[in-house]
Amino acid sequence: MLTLYFSPGSSAMATHIALHEIGVPFERKLVSLAAGAQHAPEYLAINPEGKVPALVIDGRVLTEVAGTLYYLARRYPEARLWPEGGIEDEAQAISWMSFIASTIHPARRAGDERWKEVFVLAEQRLGGRKWTVGGRCSIADIHLFRLYWRFVDTLGPMPDAYPGLTAHYERMMARPAVKKTIEVESAIGYQLPR
Ligand SMILES: N[C@@H](CCC(=O)N[C@@H](CS)C(=O)NCC(=O)O)C(=O)O
């Protein structure tokens, strides 16, 4: 049994999208960041860091977006979310997800200028390609999309500054799994800090 602890629009959105891409049954548990539920003892017992996502797999806890995405992609290979081009493509996916988690994600709190700057780096890195790695959507694209979605949601679209990321965003927005995730999460309501 898979249980996703999430809050709408948060980092957990990436794991939520991957679960919809795969189409596996799972249970959702809302951890309202707006209500401070991430600091409640019941949630700290699951993730002592007080962050979402947490994915509970038959009672075992897995945290960190990249870890949850990797688990889902490898456990459900039929969804083809893990690059198939060999060791170098796999390393590229890890490289993207490390860059996203360690450089893009923390930039939001460093202010809008830094946030815009890291997406210039992401734009260069994407280099006009359709997908981050290889010829199809992978977990690295889901991870990238969630951060760029957050950027667009906060600062508005900037197609002139980020043409590649904008095209990638639109490609991702057209995916049924992304639509479904946004539908479920927006029905609860985004309650994110700016
Ligand atoms: N490195 C973590 C970051 C997770 C994270 O920062 N989650 C945020 C939401 S986007 C959170 O739960 N924040 C709650 C808090 O800081 O109180 C990951 O990749 O999963």
CATH of residue 144: 1.20.1050.10
Q: Report whether residue 101 contacts ligand 1, using a CB cutoff of 6 Å.
A: yes
Task: Determine the pLDDT at residue 192.
Answer: 64
Q: Report whether residue 51 contacts ligand 1, using a CB cutoff of 6 Å.
A: yes
Are residues 69 and 128 both part of a single domain?
no
Evaluate whether residue 194 is within a structural domain: no
Task: Determine the pLDDT at residue 190.
Answer: 81
Measuring CA to CA, which residue among 164, 163, 104, 158 is closest to residue 130? 164
CA of 86 to the centre of ligand 1 (A): 31
Per-residue pLDDT in tens (0 to 9) along the chain, 194 residues: 999 999 999 999 999 999 999 999 999 999 999 899 999 999 999 999 999 999 999 999 999 999 999 999 999 999 999 999 999 999 999 999 999 999 999 999 999 999 999 999 999 999 999 999 999 999 999 999 999 999 999 999 999 999 999 999 999 999 999 999 999 999 998 866 65
CA of 83 to the centre of ligand 1 (A): 25
Are residues 20 and 8 both part of a single domain?
yes
Instruction: Name 72's Cβ contacts closer than 8 Å, sequence gap at least 6.
Output: 15, 18, 19, 22, 55, 79, 81, 139
Are residues 95 and 168 both part of a single domain?
yes
Q: Report whether residue 52 contacts ligand 1, using a CB cutoff of 6 Å.
A: yes
Q: Report whether residue 10 contacts ligand 1, using a CB cutoff of 6 Å.
A: yes
Task: Determine the pLDDT at residue 157.
Answer: 94
Measuring CA to CA, which residue among 56, 61, 17 is closest to residue 150? 17
- Domain extent for 30: 2-79+177-188
